Amino acid sequence: MSCRELGLLDIENSLADSPRYRAQVRKFEEYAQALETGIQGLSKASRQLQASSADYSARQAEVVQRITQLSQLSPMGDATVDQRLADFADVIAEVERNRAMQSEQLQQIVVQPLEELSEGLLAQTKTARRRMDALQSDYESQLARLMGKKMTEPMLEQQEREVECAKSRYVSQQQRLSLDYNRLASVKKIELLEGFLSLMYAQYAFHHQAFSSLRDFEPAMRSLGEHIAQVRHQ
């Protein structure tokens, strides 16, 4: 498949330095800026979620503690009720542990790799872009001075060579930047999708484990229901 079909910059086209190619580079620059903004927003939302999750875990732990305390307050010494309440507290605690782990996985599986991308490749492209702008400005200013020279002026050949060198430096930097932009474009198709796929599997595992824990407790729930019915008729 061609670079165009893959949605990537064709590095060979940078040699011509055409307005069309420059426009394509600008689109990738806009993508990089949008990606950076998106990562920052996701990172902020994830931190807020972690804080809320920690608070929820604390409240849930308090609920479990209260249930455990209630299970120990039976004046008639009803061992069946005491045991079922204690078992129920254990189930709630287990489900909450799994939920907290699942919440942390968002940060570990998705957000952290993207933050590393932002600090690494995205920062690299910003630096490369600034260098390319400087080299482009130098090349265009030298070219403008050369175009203002008369063909009979001395040192013209040397100035032409200097312009060619300036253009070569600019085009080489543009190619390096284009390679970085292509790597960024691949992130959406690879790292980002892999991260969210792993997160979905983590979500599935959490809900499956929670269901399994509650299903295992179902016989005890039925037993407790039967016990309550017997107590009502005494």
Given the candidates 1.10.600.10, 3.40.50.720, 3.30.70.1880, 1.20.1270.60, the CATH classification of the domain at 24-232 is 1.20.1270.60
Q: Which amino acid is at 184?
A: L
Q: Whole-prediction pTM value?
A: 0.69
Nearest to 7 by CA among 171, 128, 176, 184: 184
198 — pLDDT class (breaks 50, 70, 90): confident
Confidence of residue 117 (pLDDT cuts 50, 70, 90): confident
Distance spanning both ends of the chain, measured CA to CA: 79
pLDDT of residue 138: 92
The identity of residue 83, as a single letter, is Q
- pLDDT of 141-162, one tens digit each? 988 888 877 766 667 778 888 8
Q: How far apart (Å, rounded) are the C-alpha atoms in residues 177 and 98?
A: 43
pLDDT, position 134: 93
pLDDT score at 135: 92
Q: Count helices and strands (H / E) in the chain.
A: 8, 0
Which DSSP letter does residue 175 get? Answer: H
What are the residue boundaries of the structural domains of the chain, listed by start? 24-232
Lowest mean pLDDT among 72-81, 94-103, 157-166, 198-207: 72-81
